[in-house]
A and B are shown apart, each in its own frame.
Chain A
Amino acid sequence: MLCRLWLLIRPLLLDKKYQVELSCCQHLGRLAGVMASAEQNPVTLHHHKLYNRTILLARKIHGDVASLLESYVEKQGLDRSICLDSVDGVPSAAAQPEGEMTAAERLGAGLQAYRAFQALLGEVLEEQRTHLTPLDTDFHASIRSVLLQVQALARQLEELLGCDRLAWEAAGPPALGGLSLFQMKLRGLKVLQELAHWAVRTVRDLHQVATHSPGSGPARGCQVQAE
């Protein structure tokens, strides 16, 4: 079931150029039970601490991105209310309020999104350095700080979910061509907006995992091959 779910959500989250080969997270179903009985043995205690750290990191990302958004719109000369419907390739945080995905499955979707955001933030940073704000090193440092935090969040989610990363194939060096300067600005704005919402969503999903009552057995692992 998880393999089918992954095949369903993957096209919605990722542009085709981001190729991921991922061994399915074997502990998705068991994670809820681990969180619910956190203090019974060293392993669950470790998970409980990791869960708390991950929440704190996701919340910090949300706060830092909210601040970065303020300076981003100012430096790019944009209006926060500008329509971003034309911007593609950014994982959308929007989710059904009571969808079929469990909280743990949503965490897995978040993990895929954060991996995509690592590449996107890298591109945004390079566009700022090369074209848009070449002299604003402080601004670049702020973007890089968020990028590093997203990398850390992805690693913590991998550890929480017990995922083994067999291969992580990004599209190579950031592709700087193809977008006009204005399109670069819009995409950067959308990246930051969606990332802020993903961080809130992840905090909620982590809280839900912590309170989920153990019921189902562990999820079966499966191999998902990239296209």
Chain B
Amino acid sequence: PKEPVLMCRSNNYPKGFYCSWHLPSPTYIPNTFNITVMHGPRELVCEKDAFPKNRCHIRYHQLFSTVKYKVTLTVTNALGHTHTALIFREFTIIKPDPPENVVAKPVANNPRRLEVRWQNPSSWPDPESFPLKFFLRYRPLILDQWQHVELSDGTSHTITDAYAGKEYIIQVAAKDNDIGTWSDWSVAAHATPWMEEPKHLTTEAQAAETTTSGTSSFLPPPTTKNCDLEAVVGSGATALTWAAGLGLAAAGILFI
């Protein structure tokens, strides 16, 4: 077999880490994999997962150790064997899973704001002792360039420079405050900033008809602003009708 590809990662620090492997190309004959994990002179047990089969996990027996880990994977089949090894320190393989449940919502009466909330990855076992920091990126769908914000605490952020009326895509990544690397980006959230509702002009006849039809006539839209505007527009339309009538009457008298 060809040399296998081996990867080790801790997404649940300080509980432990896992190693996973695969062959770069299929052999089409049965292969057996044997993995050993050494921490200095001590051999650690790598418990194989039921699923997927090409993964095993190790519990930390020590934390904050400067002694390196060495993981050796041997692949054997009827045609021979090959192996590969990884050597690393405790902190270098720490990589949380992405934040979960990323939700973005518009902010009422604010056409340039979006409120984003998320949760710590559920696999991160002790966020109080090992708090995470976050990296948020966002862009309107119509543009390719991302905006970035790094957040040292908290699981929410308000975007204040969104383009009005444009749908946004937002993602978040996580990292321990001091050690390890950034997670992959989260599942994307989509949101469009709040927009003012379009205004409708009404004539006096339409206003009278809706008044007799039921109790819901001239119900103001949710925002007070629109209600005021519509009242103003309505009264203006009425005044215009009266003025037009007077003008016609005056023209009629002159004609006579």
Binding between chains A and B: yes
Provide the bound-state CA to CA distance between A175 and B93, in Å: 38
Complex CA distance for A97 and B206, rounded to whole angstroms:
76
Asked if B217 CB lies within 8 Å of chain A CBs, one says no
- Is B123 interfacial (CB 8 A cutoff)? no
A38 to B102 Cα, complex, angstroms: 31
Chain A residues 71 to 90 lying within 8 A of chain B, measured CB to CB, are 81, 84-85
Q: Which residues of B contact A93 (CB under 8 A)?
A: 64-66
A44: Cβ under 8 A from any B Cβ? no
Neighbouring A residues of B179 by C-beta, 8 Å: 200
- For residue A59, which residue of chain B has the nearest CB? B178
| Interface flag for A223 (CB, 8 Å) | no
Q: Are A94 and B63 in contact (CB under 8 A)?
A: yes
Query: CB < 8 Å: which of A62, A97, A197, A210 contacts B66?
Result: A197
Q: Is the CB of A198 within 8 A of B64?
A: yes
- Please name the residue on chain B nearest to A83 by beta carbon: B68
Q: A97–B63 contact, CB under 8 A? A: yes
Q: Determine whether A95 belongs to the interface, using a CB cutoff of 8 Å to chain B.
A: yes
Contact with B along A178-198 (1 / 0, CB 8 A): 000000000000100110011
Interface residues of B in 37-82 (CB under 8 A from A): 40, 59-68
Segment of A5-13, A128-136, A201-209 engaged in the interface with chain B: A201-209
Decide: A208 and B129 in contact? CB cutoff 8 A.
yes
A198, B63: Cα distance in complex, Å: 10
Q: Is the CB of B62 within 8 A of A97?
A: yes
> Does B66 lie within 8 Å of A194, measured CB to CB?
yes
| B89: min CB distance to chain A, Å | 9
Chain A contact residues: over half helix, strand or loop, or mixed?
Answer: helix
CB pair A207–B62 under 8 Å, yes or no, is no
Q: Is the CB of B62 within 8 A of A95?
A: yes
CA distance A154 to B53 in the complex (A): 48
CB distance from B114 to the nearest CB of A (A): 30
CB nearest to A210 among chain B residues: B128
Give which listed residue, A96, A200, A204, contacts B62 with CB less than 8 A.
Answer: A96
- The one of B40, B63, B66, B68 in contact with A95, judged by C-beta atoms closer than 8 angstroms, is B63
Residue with the highest number of chain A CB atoms closer than 10 Å, among B15, B63, B87 = B63
Contacts A97-B14, A207-B128; is A197 near B177 (CB within 8 Å)?
no
Instruction: Name the distance in Å between B240's Cβ and chain A's nearest Cβ.
Output: 63
Query: A100 to B129, alpha carbons, bound, how many Å?
Result: 17
Is B21 positioned at the interface, with any CB of A under 8 Å from its CB?
no
Quick one: CB contact mask for B1-20 with A, threshold 8 Å, 1 for yes?
00000000000001100000
CB distance from B181 to the nearest CB of A (A): 14
Given contacts A59-B177, A81-B87, A200-B179, contact A94 B131 (CB under 8 A): no
Q: Is B130 an interface residue (CB 8 A)?
A: yes
Chain B residues with Cβ below 8 Å from A201 are: 63-64
> What residues of chain A lie closer than 8 Å to B128, measured between beta carbons?
207-208, 210-211
Known pairs A59-B178, A81-B87, A200-B178; A207 contacts B64 (CB<8 A): no
**Hey, which chain B residues are within 8 Å of A92, CB to CB?**
65-66
B91 at the interface (CB under 8 A from A): yes
Closest-CB distance, A53 to chain B (whole angstroms): 15
C-alpha spacing A95/B64, complex, angstroms: 7
Residues of B within 8 A of A85 (CB): 40
From residue A220, how far is it (CB to closest CB) to chain B in Å? Answer: 27
Could you say which residues of chain A place their CB within 8 Å of the CB of B59? 97
B64 touches A193 (CB 8 A): no
Residues from chain A with a CB closer than 8 A to the CB of B60 are: 97
The answer to whether B131 and A207 have CB atoms under 8 Å apart is yes
Which among B15, B67, B87 is the interface contact of A94 at CB below 8 angstroms? Answer: B67
Chain B hits for A193, CB < 8 A: 66
Complexed CA–CA distance, A32 and B64 (Å) = 22
A84 CA / B40 CA spacing, docked (Å): 11
Contact code string A206-222 (vs B, CB < 8 Å = 1, else 0): 01101100000000000
Residues of chain B lying within 8 A (CB to CB) of residue A84: 66
Apart from the given pairs A92-B66, A93-B65, A200-B178, 6 other A-B contacts in the complex at a CB distance below 8 Å: A81-B68, A95-B63, A197-B64, A198-B64, A203-B177, A210-B128
Question: What are 22 A-B pairs with beta-carbon distances under 8 A?
Answer: A59-B177, A81-B68, A81-B87, A92-B65, A92-B66, A93-B64, A95-B62, A95-B64, A96-B61, A96-B63, A97-B15, A97-B60, A97-B61, A97-B63, A194-B66, A200-B64, A203-B177, A204-B129, A208-B128, A208-B129, A211-B128, A211-B129
| Chain B interface (Cβ < 8 Å from any Cβ of A) | 14-15, 40, 59-68, 87, 91, 128-131, 177-179
